[in-house]
Amino acid sequence: MAYKTKEWRNAMRVTVDYNYMMSKSLGDKGITDGDIKAVKEKAEGAFRYVAANRGRDDLFMGWTELPYNQDAIVADIIATAKQVRKKFKYFVVLGIGGSALGPIMAFNALCHLHYNELSPSKRKGPKFYVEDNVDPVRMAALLDVIEPEKTCFNVISKSGATSETMTQYLIISDILKKAGVDIAENMIFTTDAVKGNLQKIDASFGGKVKKYVLPDGVGGRFSELSPVGLLPAAVLGIDIKGMLAGAAYMDNLCSKPSVAKNPALACAVLQYITMKQGKNINVLMPYSDNLKLMADWYCQLWAESLGKAVDYDGNLVNAGTTPVKSLGVTDQHSQVQLYIEGPYDKVITFISVANYATTMPIPHGCEDIPDVGFLGGHSMQELIQAENKATAYALMRAGRMNYTINMPEVNAFTLGQLMYLLEMQTAYTGAMLNINTFNQPGVENGKKATFALLGKKGYEGQKKEMDSAPALDDKYIV
Ligand code: PA5
Pair (302, 358) in one structural domain: yes
- Residue 208 has what pLDDT? 96
Is residue 469 predicted with pLDDT exceeding 90? Answer: no
Find out whether the peptide bond into 145 is cis, omega within 30 degrees of 0. Answer: no
- Residue 30 has what pLDDT? 98
- Residue 195 has what pLDDT? 85
Please report whether residue 202 resides in a domain: yes
- Residue 319 has what pLDDT? 97
Please report whether residue 449 resides in a domain: no
Specify the higher pLDDT residue, 473 or 240: 240
Rg (CA), the chain: 24
Strands 187-191 and 151-156 come out as parallel
Query: pLDDT digit string (tens) for 343-359?
Result: 999 999 999 999 999 99
Query: pLDDT digit string (tens) for 214-235?
Result: 999 999 999 999 999 999 999 9
**Site to substitute for ligand 1 among 63, 94, 158, most atoms within 8 A of C-beta:** 158
pLDDT-based confidence at residue 33 (cuts at 50, 70, 90): very high
- Residue 445 has what pLDDT? 81
CATH number, residue 37? 3.40.50.10490
Pair (259, 365) in one structural domain: yes
Pair (186, 270) in one structural domain: no
Pair (262, 350) in one structural domain: yes
Q: Over range 399-422, report the average pLDDT.
A: 98
pLDDT-based confidence at residue 146 (cuts at 50, 70, 90): very high
Q: Is residue 89 flagged as an active site residue?
A: no
Pair (32, 132) in one structural domain: no
Extended beta strands in 41-113, E state: 90-94
**Site to substitute for ligand 1 among 93, 96, 133, most atoms within 8 A of C-beta:** 96
Q: Which of 223, 238, 253 is the last residue of a domain?
A: 238
Q: Which of 238, 254, 278 is the last residue of a domain?
A: 238
Pair (120, 198) in one structural domain: yes
Asked whether the beta carbons of 283 and 322 are under 8 A apart, the reply is: no
Q: Tell me what percent of the residues of the chain surpass a pLDDT of 70.
A: 100
Pair (340, 222) in one structural domain: no
Pair (213, 254) in one structural domain: no
Selecting among 65, 131, 304, 423, the annotated active-site residue is 304
Please report whether residue 441 resides in a domain: no
Q: Is residue 364 flagged as an active site residue?
A: no
Pair (90, 115) in one structural domain: yes
This prediction has a pTM of: 0.96
Query: Count H helices, E strands: the chain?
Result: 20, 10
The mean of the pLDDT values for the chain is 96
Q: Which of 183, 210, 238 is the last residue of a domain?
A: 238
Q: Is residue 210 flagged as an active site residue?
A: no
Domain count, the chain: 2
Is residue 405 predicted with pLDDT exceeding 80? Answer: yes
Q: Ligand 1: residues within 6 Å at CB?
A: 96-99, 157-159, 162, 165, 219-221, 304, 440
Selecting among 333, 341, 457, 475, the annotated active-site residue is 333
Q: What long-range pairs does 3-8 form, CB within 8 A, spacing at least 24?
A: 3/241, 3/242, 3/245, 3/413, 4/245, 4/413
pLDDT-based confidence at residue 280 (cuts at 50, 70, 90): very high
**Residue 252 belongs to what domain range?**
6-55+242-433
